[in-house]
């Protein structure tokens, strides 16, 4: 069955162009011209992806993103004219998976959609996910992590950090993004705090914390998760 994508943008031309490009790739397209229409579709339809403009005339894109996250883990790609790092991080912190700054290339949007679908399958962490033939297991229903079949006792921050990273294998996350996703946008501490949480997490899930396999540092930037589902 074709994957269904909802395009939310008040500019008809943008919806038309994206619909044209994505339809050619085999996606089924639904459209919404404002926030109220978008929320109605999100509540009534089964979606595989949402392309969401943040600057809507009625309900803000941020609010739609937050409400969507209360209902579903469906991937969300933000379209934004806001170019500041703070605005981008805020969008990511409330649940968006990635962003594209306007004006954009339709081909880039298609590429981003495909990449996000590859790395963050819709139901990746809705129940139980196993990595490396059961070496590491994340069980969302029970809110536990298993290492070699044994329960790993993580703090709430460590558990959320692992979820954020594992939900997007191979995607580099900046320290700022991880802070926002784990602790919230209002967190006022040093972003280097995340380094200590990563260190603690490695002590619990890595065979050799000094030579980590799962949580890898991205030099000068942040971290990424390397797994390989089994």
Across the chain, how many H-helices and E-strands are there? 8, 12
Give the residue from 78, 75, 33, 73 showing the smallest Cα distance to 56: 33
Residue 93 clears pLDDT 70, i.e. is over it: no
Per the structure, the count of domains in the chain is 2
Give the residue from 73, 10, 17, 18 showing the smallest Cα distance to 42: 73
**Residue listed under structure tokens 């500041």:** 84
Pairing relation of β-strands 222-225 and 136-139? Answer: unpaired
Last residue of a domain, one of 66, 91, 119: 119
Overall residue count recorded for the chain in this entry: 230
3-state SS, residue 152: strand
Residue 230 clears pLDDT 60, i.e. is over it: no
108 and 146 fall within a common domain: no
Mean pLDDT, range 188-195, rounded to an integer: 72
Instruction: Report the distance separating Cα 209 and Cα 23, nearest Å.
Output: 46
33 and 16 fall within a common domain: yes
- The alpha carbons of the chain give a radius of gyration, in whole angstroms, of 18
132 and 115 fall within a common domain: no
Last residue of a domain, one of 60, 93, 119: 119
Domain boundaries, position 207: 128-225
61 and 43 fall within a common domain: yes
Residues 147-182: pLDDT tens digits? 999 999 888 788 889 988 988 888 888 888 888 778
Q: Give yes or no for a contact between 114 and 146, defined as CB atoms under 8 angstroms apart.
A: no
Entry pTM:
0.58
Q: Is residue 149 part of a domain?
A: yes
Last residue of a domain, one of 102, 119, 136: 119
> pLDDT exceeding 90 applies to what percent of the chain?
40
The CATH number linked to 133 is 1.10.10.10
Omega prior to 103 cis, within 30 of 0:
yes
14 and 113 fall within a common domain: yes
Q: Where do the DSSP E strands lie in the chain?
A: 4-8, 28-32, 49-53, 76-80, 98-101, 128-131, 136-139, 144-147, 150-152, 173-174, 215-218, 222-225
- In order of 88, 144, 201, 208, the CA distances from 152 in angstroms are 33, 7, 10, 15
In the structure, what pLDDT confidence band is assigned to residue 122 with cuts at 50, 70 and 90?
very low
């Amino acid at each position: 069955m074709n994957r269904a994508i909802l395009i939310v943008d008040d500019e008809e031309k943008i919806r038309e162009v994206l619909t044209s490009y994505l339809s050619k790739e085999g996606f089924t397209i639904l459209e919404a011209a404002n926030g109220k229409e978008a929320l109605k579709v999100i509540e009534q339809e089964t979606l595989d992806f949402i392309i969401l403009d943040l600057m809507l005339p009625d309900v803000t894109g941020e609010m739609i993103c937050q409400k969507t996250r209360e209902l579903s883990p469906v991937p969300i790609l933000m379209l934004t004219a806001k170019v500041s790092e703070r605005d981008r991080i805020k969008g990511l912190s409330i649940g968006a998976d990635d962003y594209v700054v306007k004006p954009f290339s339709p081909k880039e949007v298609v590429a981003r959609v495909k990449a996000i679908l590859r790395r963050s399958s819709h139901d990746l962490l809705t129940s139980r996910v196993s990595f490396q033939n059961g070496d590491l297991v994340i069980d969302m229903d029970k809110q536990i992590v298993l290492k070699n079949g044994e329960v790993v006792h993580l703090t709430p921050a460590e558990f959320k950090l692992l979820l954020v990273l594992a939900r997007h294998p191979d995607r580099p996350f900046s320290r700022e993004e991880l802070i926002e996703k784990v602790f919230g946008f209002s967190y006022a501490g040093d972003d280097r705090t995340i380094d200590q949480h990563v260190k603690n997490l490695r002590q619990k899930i890595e065979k050799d914390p000094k030579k980590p396999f799962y949580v890898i540092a991205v030099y000068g930037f942040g971290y990424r998760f390397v797994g390989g589902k089994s």
